[in-house]
Structure 1
Amino acid sequence: MRIDYDPECMDRGSFYRLLTAVVVPRPIAWVSTVTGDGKTANLAPHSFFTVACTDPPIVQFTSVGRKDTLRNIEETGEFVVNFASEPLFAQINATATDFPSKEGEFDAVGVEREPSLRVKPPRVTSSPVALECRLHATLCLGNSTVVLGRVVHAAVREDVVVDGHPEIHRLQPLSRLGKNEWGTLGEVKDLARIPYSDWQRD
């Protein structure tokens, strides 16, 4: 037996909660931006986040509604995706607070920042990875906007790199689940894909 849910017969909030409970786990883009006048640095988590293209390298996140992050990117064309790591859990959650537009989350929450190399928005000093991005395109879909950013620089902290590659246990990624639930790394399984030439048939 299954329970049927028709989005056309439900209020949007209820179906949103259903979607975010079953599309899990979702990686978190901890996005830093600056206002058009350069006076305020904003920082907010966005849990609809993934890679959109590898050549050129483009990442994407979705802004549900028109938030400071989206407005700043539209004005400046730049942003940084800071890796959401488990030790930063409390700060990441705090930056989701709906602070007034002129009150930057870096200062309000007490998040230390450092200059980026290729873009104006600062990086989060304690985040193990920062992807500096320039706006590639936006796509409006209903109440949301998909933001596509070309990665122009990646800065990875050396203590999370093993044999030239970021190591998952050192990165300690956070993810979003349903309701107010968050996910941590848990068990990692290593299984290579099977080349068709090696596929065994009975």
Structure 2
Amino acid sequence: MYIDFADLLSNQVYHCMTQTIVPRPIAWVLSDNGQPTSYNLAPFSYFTAISSDPPLIMLSVGKKPDGSDKDTKVNIQNGKYCVVHIASAEQAKQVTESAKTLPYGESEIVQQQLELASFEGFALPRLADAPIAMACELFEMQSIGNTPQSMIILKVLHLYIEEQFATMNEGRMDLDTNALNPLGRLGGGEYWANGQSFTIQRPK
């Protein structure tokens, strides 16, 4: 099969990309709503590492259905900090539910009754049950594309990993990814974990 992107509408291109760039890691991002103890939580699978010196990761954040900026973009732009989590497959339903569009200021964490834990040396908390968390600071933000998307580059300041999944070997960290069972993203409502795909439909 040969597909020329020049012949496709943008939503068709998106479908092709999300069906073929697989599996994708998911950034489960906590950001500050700018209100006391109110935090936004949202997943993004246009996400990758781009540099180790400095340690940089990238999120690509689109718009809400009404064309306004997503809360994550607004919060990082205003507050400069966020926490990026890597979820386990057991958290797939929680990750999916946090993709639901809520009015600005309403917290997915409160809605799902998720537990928070302090992040040592960082102003924002982390999700207590997420096996990996990265404390991040805004490095650069650019508007790209015709829609446009927000390309958000974050500098990782601190890393948290549940001790049961990580060991040190001659100064290098070894991660037991089979035990961690990280959640990956496929196309449509499909996810990937430990060699198996499964489907959870995104909430409206």
TM-score (norm 2): 0.85
1:121 and 1:43 map into 2 onto residues whose CA distance is 12
Which residue number in structure 2 is paired with residue 19 of structure 1? 17
1:75 equivalent in alignment to 2:74:
no
- Helix, strand or coil: the match of 1:118? coil
Which residue number in structure 2 is paired with residue 159 of structure 1? 164
1:177 equivalent in alignment to 2:175:
no
The list of structure 1 runs, each at least 4 consecutive aligned residues, that deviate by more than 6 angstroms after superposition, is none
- Helix, strand or coil: the match of 1:4? coil
- What is the percentage of aligned positions where both structures have the same residue? 29
- Helix, strand or coil: the match of 1:97? coil
2:11 and 2:30 map into 1 onto residues whose CA distance is 27
1:153 and 1:186 map into 2 onto residues whose CA distance is 30
1:46 equivalent in alignment to 2:51:
no
1:128 and 1:158 map into 2 onto residues whose CA distance is 9
Q: CA deviation at 1:39?
A: 4.7
Q: CA deviation at 1:162?
A: 3.3
- Helix, strand or coil: the match of 2:160? strand
Which residue number in structure 2 is paired with residue 107 of structure 1? 110
1:129, 1:154 within 8 Å by CA — same for their partners in 2?
Answer: yes
Question: 2:102 is aligned with what amino acid?
Answer: F
2:49 and 2:111 map into 1 onto residues whose CA distance is 30
Map Cα deviations across residues 142-177 of structure 1 (whole Å, 9 max, x no partner): 221111111111111111113442211122111111
Change (3 A) 1:124 1:39: closer
Which residue number in structure 1 is paired with residue 29 of structure 2? 31
Indicate the structure (1 or 2) with the bigger Cα radius of gyration.
1
Which residue number in structure 2 is paired with residue 5 of structure 1? 4
Which residue number in structure 1 is paired with residue 99 of structure 2? 96
Map Cα deviations across residues 70-94 of structure 1 (whole Å, 9 max, x no partner): 1000000000111121111111111
Which has the higher mean CA deviation after the structures are superposed, 108-117 or 163-172? 163-172
1:155 and 1:4 map into 2 onto residues whose CA distance is 42
Q: CA deviation at 1:140?
A: 1.2
Q: CA deviation at 1:38?
A: 4.2
- Helix, strand or coil: the match of 2:17? helix
Which residue number in structure 1 is paired with residue 195 of structure 2? 186
Q: Which has the higher strand share?
A: 2
How much is the aligned-residue C-alpha RMSD, in angstroms? 1.6
1:40 and 1:101 map into 2 onto residues whose CA distance is 11
5+ unaligned residues in a row in structure 1: which ranges?
A: 188-202
